[in-house]
Amino acid sequence: MAAIAAPDRADPFSTAERGFGQPSQEVQAEPRQRPLQKLRRKTVLALGLGDPDAGADKAPLPARRRYLRSREGHTVQLVEADILNITRDHKHFKIWTPTLTEQPRFDDATAFGVTDAHVERLTRLEIARLSKLAAADTPGLFNSQGILGKTDNGGYEDLSGLADQLICNFQIIKHDNCCLCIEKGAPNKLPCHNRLADARRWLIMRYHNPSGQVEPRPPRVLSDARKNKDAYFLLADWVLGLTAWWLLRTAVSTYWQNQILAVLAQWSVKLKLISFDPERYAIQSLADSEELLRAARLNNPYNDPEMVVKVRGPKRNSETAITVLSEESDLVGSYYIIKSMLRERLESVLRIAFMVLQGEQTKENDAGTFEVCTFIYRTGLSRAPVLLHTDRIGSVESTIDVSHITYSHAAIDLLTANTQAIEQRDLPNGDGVDVDDDEDNECAEVVRDKGNDSQELTLRRIDDLVSVLVPLAFTSPFACGLVEELIASASLTASHTDPIYQFKPPPSNFEFGFAVSIPAWRRRRSMLDSGDDHDPEVVSLPNFPFQRPFRAGTDLANHRLTQRTTQQQQRLSVISTHSTTHSQGILSGVSSRPHCASPGGAGPSKLGEMSQIPKATQERSQSVLEEYRLHSKLVKSWVVGEESITVSCKLSSRLAIASAAILVVGGLVIGFTVGGRIEQVDPFNVANYMWFVAGFVLLVFKSRFVSDWPWHDFLRGHVVCRSVRDLAEVTGVS
């Protein structure tokens, strides 16, 4: 403990004291949207906190704006003093009207042998550093100052070890916060216990096993302790800064900005303090939780004695046990709910950034064998956008939620900016890193396609790979879903004078693609593809034809539309004469579909793609596409309900009714026409038979297509289909 707070030590946060920006003006408050205000009011009343608008100013509110914000011309303005005040709000925490005083502090770092004054000074430095990065146009490229070096197996292992250290140390922060919620009596302890169990399992596996039957597996550290600490600090600073930059561009609000930066600044302080002796602090945190679990009264949701009242209902033998809680405990519990909701989602977002840099821990020598890619393409007759992502362990995620695609747009902008910055920088003269093309250096190759302009870039440093991987991880549907939950939880406690606005979705013709793969992974994939038991229809996501236009009916097993032309393959072999880490990006912000650049970069080479498709396949594709277009007009006339689809068939029902009417009227006409001309024969018997024939025709017609066709629907000329089979029978659409 004393070694950490020793006055003669150099400040471990010296890297954060360089180049602070001046605080800017505060963001102008905006009116709150009505749906979020109603949701907040219902939540407050459910918690029993009174009317949230009881003490509000009675002045009329300004007109509410119902539109989304545009990204054009948007700038982030921060006030560091306001962010610092949020880190102190445990002393004076205001929940709308009530005010709580002297509450426990989340992310408290004083347990690591430092004073409150020292923690506040370090927090102030972190706020200044994060504010500068978050307010910048781009956070810049990652720079390890030459510690990580080249993109070889050793560089991948070093990067994975640093990311593993950050993940393990972050589990201590998570563990301490969960212990605080359980110890002080959070209203809903079940999520806290689940998160505590997950953090304990992680810390026991990596740092301490009391049974002694399993040897702990601590994170891998660099051979040079000084370089390990410097690289750890630099990576933590850059990842936290980039996370803040991205989150502040997914929504607009002063409250949102200050809350995010305050939590990230406190986490940055604690992550760096833990790095001096992580094993010691992990064991200390585990001991605190064990003592807490032994002493806590787990059956009581609060530390105060319970007051249970049984209420008899109107029915016989109906009794309900109601736990009556004190008003003070209820108000204090809301403090833990608000603090935990924000941190729970933000923890998952930050973990995604660390996990994309970490090798799979269940396999050996796996740090340099992976592939990560993201595609935004448009599908269907309505050209609906789809976000498709595969992560480092091979999990494939997809979403059609427009809000998720909007959240990923900021990460895509950053990914494009970083790729362009790497391209424009002189790599051989960068930061003193030896980037000679030797056999052990498996460098990275970037291919960007924007419109008709195709550009290529080779990455030879781990720093550049980090600059690409982290924003690429933020484009995943899972990360965007966490941001949606994070904004929703923050909106519950935001003021109606400072609502949380979101940005407009990207243009309707926006499409994007980016992929990163390591040479070892490509070699392994090539070996699997050449096997006899390989399924030709199973391909990796970057090789799937989402990034190139293809027609319906194409046989993907025999005709891969995403394969480069022979000229493109020859050009890539000249640029990269040895094995490279392949990072492929396709960006099209103006065209309705991505294009394949020609070898000379003069324009799209669609002829090369079409030449790969046989004529029979093209004709079959055209016929299928024409059939789709024909059916699309029919589909637009359907009325889609929650449990059924209503199809209009007025012509068919009227034809059946007309046929039955003709039979009946014809029988009557025969009876009146013949009259008594035929002796001993009643001509109206024919009319009776026609009634039976007409009824049989209607019965067959009603039962031919659907299992149940009520007369009400039949006479109105529509069919209510409650199964896919009925829908196919009625419409004739396959």
Torsion of CA 324, 330, 334, 337, to 10 degrees: -40
pLDDT in tens, 53-93: 554 444 444 444 445 788 877 888 888 999 999 888 888 78
CB atoms within 10 A of CB 141: 18
Determine the residue type at 342: L
Average pLDDT over residues 99-106: 81
DSSP state of 428: G
pLDDT in tens, 207-232: 877 666 777 788 889 989 999 999 99
pTM, to two decimals = 0.68
Distance CA 204, CA 208 (A): 5
Does residue 158 have a pLDDT over 50? Answer: yes
686 token code pair: 């024919």
Determine the residue type at 280: R
Find out whether 412 and 475 touch, Cβ atoms under 8 Å.
yes
Find out whether 727 and 647 touch, Cβ atoms under 8 Å.
yes
Helix, strand or coil, per DSSP, at residue 313:
coil
Worst-scoring range by mean pLDDT, 99-108, 341-350, 623-632, 675-684? 675-684
166 token code pair: 């950050």
Find out whether 465 and 602 touch, Cβ atoms under 8 Å.
no
pLDDT in tens, 640-662: 888 888 888 888 888 888 888 88
CB atoms within 10 A of CB 646: 14
Find out whether 724 and 640 touch, Cβ atoms under 8 Å.
no
CB atoms within 10 A of CB 55: 10
pLDDT in tens, 526-576: 776 666 655 655 666 666 555 555 544 455 554 443 443 333 333 332 223
Residues near 425 by Cβ (< 8 Å), separated by ≥ 6?
A: 141
Determine the residue type at 420: Q
114 token code pair: 């430092």
Confidence of residue 432 (pLDDT cuts 50, 70, 90): very low
399 HSE (CA, 13 A, CB side): 18
> What is the total residue count of the chain?
734
Find out whether 429 and 423 touch, Cβ atoms under 8 Å.
no
Distance CA 465, CA 441 (A): 13
pLDDT in tens, 688-722: 788 888 888 888 887 777 777 888 888 888 888 88
